[in-house]
């Protein structure tokens, strides 16, 4: 049975789509899981657009094309399917059990028709927040909404975690976690503020170089 995962946030700029791509990359290339992304963040559909752009760049770059041909000699890239919110769950059902996990990227506006019905089908929620009080408040508000309004009526819900993202080298995360973890389900791990994650390693086609420092941080 496919697990439906959503990296979700009401606040822009916290790395929702980037984290989705990074997790899909790690699970697909290094854990050999069958992965798919349904990009229902309409009308941006930024993940689907990124895949198309990467494919176009690879076709025009002999080195990247050779790497692509080597990686995908006996398999296809994991699918990224653009859609909108009303069609998101039917798209998940159409994929059936062909995948171990399906990432559902949705818009951050929770107060729209059909949004909560979509959330009731998700198994695992991941809520990113920054080392910033407004970002933390927004994340905790969303966490409370999921716990109070989604979990009680959802047959699919399994867990909901918060995590810190884009964290600078000098930070107060241990202090914040000590304050927050007794009351909220925060992951002990966090993602550092590496520009590589957004500029270089946020690839839907090529594996993150595990030996590089930013890559190591993801494992």
Kindly report the pTM of this predicted structure: 0.93
pLDDT at 172: 93
Q: Which pLDDT value is given to residue 43?
A: 87
Return d(Cα 23, Cα 201) in angstroms, integer.
11
**C-alpha–C-alpha distance, residues 130 and 171, integer Å:** 11
Question: Which pLDDT score, from 0 to 100, does residue 213 have?
Answer: 55
Pick from 200, 206, 204: which is nearest to 51 by CA? 204
CA distances from 6 to 73, 91, 103, 108 (A): 30, 15, 6, 11
75 token code pair: 């398999």
d(CA 162, CA 154): 19
Contact 115, 142 (CB under 8 A): no
Reading the block at residue 183, the tokens are 């009351």
Q: Which residue has the tokens 């790690």?
A: 26
pLDDT for the residue 161? 97
Which helix (H) or strand (E) segment holds residue 23: the answer is helix 16-29
**Half-sphere exposure for 146 (CA within 13 Å, toward CB):** 30
- The reported pLDDT for the residue numbered 165 is 93
Q: What is the pLDDT of residue 196?
A: 66
Q: Using CA atoms, how far apart are residues 70 and 206, in angstroms rounded to an integer?
A: 11
Nearest one of 101, 93, 94, 89 to 25, comparing CA atoms: 101
Q: Which pLDDT belongs to residue 71?
A: 96
Distance CA 98, CA 1 (A): 8
Q: How would you write the pLDDT of the chain (219 residues) with one tens digit per residue?
A: 789 999 999 888 899 999 999 999 999 999 999 999 999 998 889 999 999 999 999 999 999 999 999 999 999 999 999 999 999 999 999 998 899 999 999 987 777 778 889 999 999 999 999 999 999 999 999 999 999 999 999 999 999 999 999 998 889 999 999 999 999 999 998 888 877 676 678 899 999 887 765 555 655
The C-alpha atoms of residue 140 and residue 155 are separated, in whole angstroms, by 23
Report the C-alpha gap between 156 and 115 in whole angstroms: 15
**For residues 121 and 4, is the Cβ–Cβ distance under 8 A?**
yes
* Residue 123 confidence (pLDDT): 97
pLDDT (0 to 100) of residue 194: 72
Q: Which residues contact 213 (CB under 8 A, 6 or more apart)?
A: none
pLDDT at 217: 61
């Amino acid at each position: 049975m496919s697990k439906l995962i959503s990296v979700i946030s009401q606040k822009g700029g916290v790395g929702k789509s980037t984290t989705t791509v990074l997790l899909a990359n790690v699970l697909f290339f290094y854990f050999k899981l069958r992965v798919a992304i349904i990009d229902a963040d309409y009308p941006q559909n930024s993940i689907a657009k990124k895949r198309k752009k990467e494919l176009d760049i690879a076709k025009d770059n002999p080195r990247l094309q050779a790497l692509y041909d080597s990686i995908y000699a006996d398999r296809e890239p994991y699918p990224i399917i653009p859609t909108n919110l009303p069609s998101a769950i039917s798209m998940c059902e159409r994929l059936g059990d062909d995948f171990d996990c399906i990432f559902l990227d949705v818009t951050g506006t929770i107060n729209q028709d059909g949004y909560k019905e979509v959330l009731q089908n998700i198994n695992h929620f991941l809520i990113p927040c920054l080392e910033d009080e407004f970002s933390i408040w927004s994340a905790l508000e969303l966490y409370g909404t999921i716990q109070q309004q989604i979990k009680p009526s959802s047959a699919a819900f399994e867990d909901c975690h918060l995590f810190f993202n884009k964290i600078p080298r000098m930070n107060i995360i241990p202090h914040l976690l000590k304050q927050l973890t007794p009351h909220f389900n925060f992951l002990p791990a966090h993602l550092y503020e590496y520009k590589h994650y957004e500029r270089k390693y946020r690839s839907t086609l090529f594996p993150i170089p595990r030996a590089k420092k930013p890559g190591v941080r993801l494992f």
